[in-house]
């Protein structure tokens, strides 16, 4: 999986003898050691030498050093400096606050601030609902984390989580025009987190919980949903579930199978796995085997974790108790939200014909997609350097846009399913194929489509996005964190 990536993009500033072939020699030297050269720019020119910025993608820090050595092996070349473009983009942070109104003179100031602002304050005091109309609340989301489950890095703390939270806020703005702000909390105490979020909630129209470890994330979300009058959404759970469901809708169209007929193996029963299973059951999937590190979750075992106990009671009707690899035999769909390199080519070969594999562990998936495609018809990952990227950015910007525009106070399963269908339907019939089951994250039509679908459901309009979809079964016990 160690391939050059824009996530490891470098600029090597080199001094080289002047000459007509200097840039081609530098490009060839970098390419010989596997660098993906993206640009060569002459930044200084002198009679006897030039200074060239060599921009390239590498796979890791060791590969970067190989490229530097390769350039310096060219006669007369000296590497002056190596800059990491990923770190450069983070210098000073990635977001800022900018005013929406001009403050050009005393008149402007007297309206935006004192004394005129006092009248607006009193209007809100007399009618608190006006806060949505007269403040940033109607368009602002708090991105809340405690830094305990950041990407695949684990518990790295609130400061180290900030670059991810800033990135999340930037995506909210870029794709849906939502103003979001990171709130990184220096506490892991569940009650304290709930208390802090409740205390800051008056300034926000919604709460996006991010990178909070399980099982605390379940209680934090459930309690905040009960105790706040604005929507609360744990993206690691429900954002992943929305996009996975959207991808599954289209993958099943590609292989011509029905959702109620397939056997689905889910690897990972944490936050994302639990939410995916909830949506799969809601959509009528009848045969799900969920696996943890110890193997299949089943009714024959008691679990201290109520969320795993719920999975045991609502899935795996056949009582399968074997390993993940054994569960793959005869499966139609694999959905992985767990750990890298759990499966090999033989495991995919043991699945049914026209198998679907969603290996979404990041940055390294449960199986190398290059191996999975040898036996599966549809393969998707969470990575941007392979086709069919299952990325939460397809869901959360549009979801919150719709919630904010509707003035919603809660999030329902119907909204999540509507969002999934909006994403799936963004891939036109003529575009759909095994390597294109979800739209690009840069497709400008996706977020508005998701927002419109969610808003229709939130406002209770007729003809919601899920109106002509399969009805939800009503016979199951509710999940302890059912939405």
Catalytic site residues?
113, 168
Q: What is the pLDDT of residue 383?
A: 86
Which candidate, 396, 298, 288, places its Cα nearest to that of 335?
288
Q: Find out whether 104 and 56 touch, Cβ atoms under 8 Å.
A: no
* Distance separating alpha carbons of residues 71 and 14, to the nearest angstrom: 8
Question: 268 to each of 170, 337, 338, 347, 413, how far by Cα in Å?
Answer: 29, 5, 5, 17, 21
Q: What is the pLDDT of residue 471?
A: 39
* Distance separating alpha carbons of residues 339 and 219, to the nearest angstrom: 24
Q: Find out whether 312 and 303 touch, Cβ atoms under 8 Å.
A: yes
Q: What is the pLDDT of residue 481?
A: 44
- Counting DSSP H helices and E strands in the chain, the numbers are 18, 14
Q: What is the pLDDT of residue 2?
A: 66
Q: Find out whether 371 and 345 touch, Cβ atoms under 8 Å.
A: yes
Q: What is the CA radius of gyration of the chain?
A: 25
- Give the chain's largest Cα–Cα span: 82
Q: What is the pLDDT of residue 479?
A: 45
* Distance separating alpha carbons of residues 14 and 443, to the nearest angstrom: 38
pLDDT in tens, the chain (483 residues): 468 888 899 999 999 999 989 999 999 999 999 999 999 999 999 999 999 999 999 999 999 999 999 999 999 999 999 999 999 999 999 999 999 999 999 999 999 999 999 999 999 999 999 999 999 999 999 999 999 999 878 899 999 999 999 999 999 999 999 999 999 999 999 999 999 999 999 999 999 999 999 889 999 999 999 999 999 999 999 999 999 999 999 999 999 999 999 999 999 999 999 999 999 999 999 999 999 999 999 999 999 889 999 999 999 999 999 999 999 999 999 999 999 999 999 999 999 999 999 999 988 899 999 999 999 999 999 988 789 999 999 999 999 999 999 999 999 999 999 999 999 999 999 999 999 999 999 999 999 999 999 999 999 853 333 344 433 333 334 444 444
Within 10 Å of residue 85's Cβ, how many Cβ atoms?
16
* Distance separating alpha carbons of residues 455 and 401, to the nearest angstrom: 8
Helix (H) or strand (E) holding 417: helix 413-424
Provide the residue count of the chain: 483
Which candidate, 28, 52, 25, places its Cα nearest to that of 41?
52
């Amino acid at each position: 999986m160690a391939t050059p990536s824009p996530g490891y993009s470098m600029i090597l500033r080199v001094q080289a003898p002047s000459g007509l072939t200097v840039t081609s020699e530098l490009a060839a030297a970098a390419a010989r050691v596997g660098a993906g050269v993206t640009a060569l720019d002459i930044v200084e020119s002198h009679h006897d030498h030039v200074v060239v910025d060599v921009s390239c993608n590498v796979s890791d820090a060791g590969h970067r050093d190989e490229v530097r050595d390769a350039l310096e092996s060219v006669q007369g070349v000296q590497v002056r400096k190596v800059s990491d473009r990923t770190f450069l983009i983070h210098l000073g942070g990635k977001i800022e606050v900018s005013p929406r109104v001009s403050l050009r003179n005393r008149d402007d100031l007297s309206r935006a601030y004192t004394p005129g602002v006092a009248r607006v304050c009193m209007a809100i005091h007399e009618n608190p609902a006006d806060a949505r109309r007269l403040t940033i609340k109607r368009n602002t989301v708090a991105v809340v984390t405690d830094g305990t489950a950041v990407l695949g890095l684990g518990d790295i703390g609130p400061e180290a989580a900030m670059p991810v939270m800033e990135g999340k806020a930037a995506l909210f703005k870029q794709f849906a025009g939502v103003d979001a702000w990171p709130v990184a909390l220096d506490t892991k105490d569940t009650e304290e987190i709930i208390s802090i979020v409740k205390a800051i909630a008056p300034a926000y129209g919604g709460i996006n919980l991010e990178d909070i470890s399980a099982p605390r994330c379940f209680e934090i979300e459930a309690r905040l949903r009960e105790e706040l009058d604005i929507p609360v959404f744990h993206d690691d759970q429900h954002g992943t579930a929305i996009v996975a469901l959207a991808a599954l809708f289209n993958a099943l169209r590609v292989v011509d199978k029905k959702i109620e007929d397939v056997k689905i193996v889910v690897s990972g029963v944490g936050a994302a796995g639990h939410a995916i299973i909830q949506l799969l059951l809601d959509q009528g999937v009848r045969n799900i085997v969920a696996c943890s590190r110890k193997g299949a979750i089943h009714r024959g075992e008691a679990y201290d974790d109520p969320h795993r106990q719920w999975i045991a009671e609502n899935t795996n009707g056949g009582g399968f108790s074997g390993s993940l690899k054994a569960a793959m035999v005869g499966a139609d769909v694999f959905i992985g939200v767990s750990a890298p390199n759990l499966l090999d080519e033989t495991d995919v070969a043991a699945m049914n014909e026209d198998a679907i594999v969603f290996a979404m562990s990041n940055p390294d998936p449960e199986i190398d997609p290059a191996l999975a495609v040898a036996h599966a018809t549809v393969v998707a990952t969470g990575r941007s350097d392979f086709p069919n990227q299952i990325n939460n950015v397809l869901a959360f910007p549009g979801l919150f846009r719709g919630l904010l525009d509707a003035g919603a106070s809660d999030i329902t399963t119907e909204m999540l399913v509507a969002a999934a269908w909006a994403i799936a339907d963004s891939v036109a019939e003529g575009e759909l194929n095994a390597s294109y089951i979800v739209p690009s994250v840069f497709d400008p039509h996706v977020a508005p489509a998701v927002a419109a679908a969610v808003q229709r459901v939130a406002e209770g309009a007729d003809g919601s996005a899920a109106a002509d979809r399969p009805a939800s079964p009503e016979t199951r016990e509710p999940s302890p964190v059912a939405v």
